[in-house]
Chains A and B, each alone.
Chain A
Amino acid sequence: MTERWFPDEMPDPAVNAETIGWWQEAAAHRLVVQRCGDCRRTRHPPGPICPACRSTVAQWAEVPGTGVVFTYTVVRQAFIGCLADRIPYVVVAVELDGAGGARMVSNLVDIDPADVSIGMPVAVVWEDMGPELAIPRFRPAPTAETAEAGTKGAQR
């Protein structure tokens, strides 16, 4: 059992022909963006055609899963009942490394909301919601200092 941050009752992702592949990659813990098969530009969310060169050929390009917080909000109202005991939670827009400037909406977990700031480095962590659904969330990226503390912890 992997770590869980959000309840089963969260809305399931609605998918269409152009987006289902992204979610299938996610189920295998691969964070991807769509890359045009012709001009090689990347985009997120995925779509049926390249807005730059109008090619309908595209591939999934795996990205490292790191990035920085472009912006965020601390949500303090439970818009659905199952989140009543989970607020506050943090919604972020992450500018993904290696994605040509593409950003994605996600959550920042394992952090005090007061400590979130624009520009902070983050790294993906997967929440397995079910056998066919894994959601990429983010946590603060380990710095040299915290990585060392983690190593010491493992030794104890």
Chain B
Amino acid sequence: MRPVTAGRRPCVVGVGETRYARWGGIPETSEYQLALSAIVGAVADAGLSMDDVDGLASFAEDRNEATFAAADLGLAELRYATLSWLPGGGGACAAVANAAMAVETGAAEVVVVYRSLCQGQFHRFGQGPGGRPPAGPARTPGLRKARTLLEAHVGFTMPFGMFSPPIAYAMVVQRHMHRFGTTEHQMGQVAVTTRAHAARNPRAVMGTRPMTMDDYLASRFVSEPFRLFDCCLETDGACAVVVTTSERALDLARTPIEIVGHAQGTPRGFGHGQYSNVSMPDDDYTSAGARTVADRLWASAGLGPADIDVAEIYDHFTGLVLLSLEDFGFCGRGEGGPLAASGALAWPDGALPTNTHGGSLSEAYIHGLNHVVEGVRQLRGESTCQVDGAETVLVTSAAGVPTSALVLGRP
């Protein structure tokens, strides 16, 4: 990202996390209170006061509104509050980018990006509207009124039993297998490698449970070709990151981590992604939907895939990690599987250590904002799978929906 003014280059200066627990594992604290605790923790980590915070940023479908948070946190003044439209986990990096643009232009000085997700307190994320019919007396099936555009779109998927993201993205990977010969073992390599990284991470929900390829292959099918271990966790927890300018960062205790580049969006006709659109061109359908984002990201950062030391790739499903690797240019189209099978993603010896915290598959499912936190940790030299001398990290947000991505770097 070319700076608007050099002194206002956007940096991440603080990160905060609550504990992460399995679905329903944090019944005593509300999802909203966890969000506020993560924000307070991130601001303290930055060495800032809550009085310094003048902006809040999040992304789609956030129940924890910034305006309430500003009041409850006692912010002196809220000068900037945005919610990225990118759905699901697609907007985590976009929210950081929005915060970066706010501090770069001077719209705000200190913006905190946050995500709290306690599926145990609400419902399975991505379980579509109408996915759980009410129990009760027999009724006559018919039409019902959609309350949102998304509801009307999934009106063309729910009646066919496509209730949940694993079903939709299993179809994407099935097509990818058909076109390119991607295999279950290649997907399994993502699951096994990510679990091994989690084993070193005390925050990781699955950290104490090792996984072999045999364990992976023995796990039950959810929606073929996806097994249980191809699917991310469902967890409770929250995290936050603090964004300010390079100038302000000079006064702070922690090494600032520069937001070197960012990009967000979709290609033409991608819509809400393969979850509700199966009519898009085949090359988009069998992608993570991030090819145009990748092109703009690399241009924004002035870097390319060969310059990246560590990758934190959104991993709601193993197969989609392979597609993201292709979209971001770490290999050619259809070569994501062989790349994973080569051991490239494994810390410490792989060419591109990936999801060094254990990802959503094995650390926690905080809609990928925890991937940003891990990127910062790598560049601070504090990861539990630390890549020696890491200077650049790619972070991606979601796949198969409108996406976003960041390049983080040491200044």
Interface residues of A (CB under 8 A from B): 6, 8-16, 18-20, 23, 43-45, 51, 70-77, 79-80, 82-83, 89, 91, 93, 101-107, 113, 118, 129-133, 135, 137
Contact = CB atoms under 8 A, between A and B. Distances in A.
A12 B139 CA distance: 11
Contacts of B279: 43-44, 101-104
A105 B160 contact: yes
Contacts of A103: 278-279
Interface of B: 127-133, 138-147, 149, 151-164, 167, 170-172, 174-175, 178, 220-226, 269, 276-279, 285
B175 A11 contact: no
Given A80-B132, A132-B142, A133-B143, A12 B160 contact: no
A97 to B, nearest CB: 14
B119 to A, nearest CB: 14
Contacts of A133: 141-143
A109 B325 CA distance: 35
Contacts of B167: 73, 75, 79, 91
The secondary structure that dominates the B interface is: loop
A98 to B, nearest CB: 14
7 contacts: A10-B158, A11-B131, A15-B144, A15-B152, A73-B170, A91-B223, A105-B156
Nearest to B127: A79
Contacts of A12: 130, 141-144, 159
Nearest to A71: B175
B146 A16 contact: yes
Contacts of B220: 76-77
B160 A106 contact: yes
A108 to B, nearest CB: 10
A20 B130 CA distance: 17
A102 B280 CA distance: 8
Contact of A118 (B139, B159, B161, B174): B174
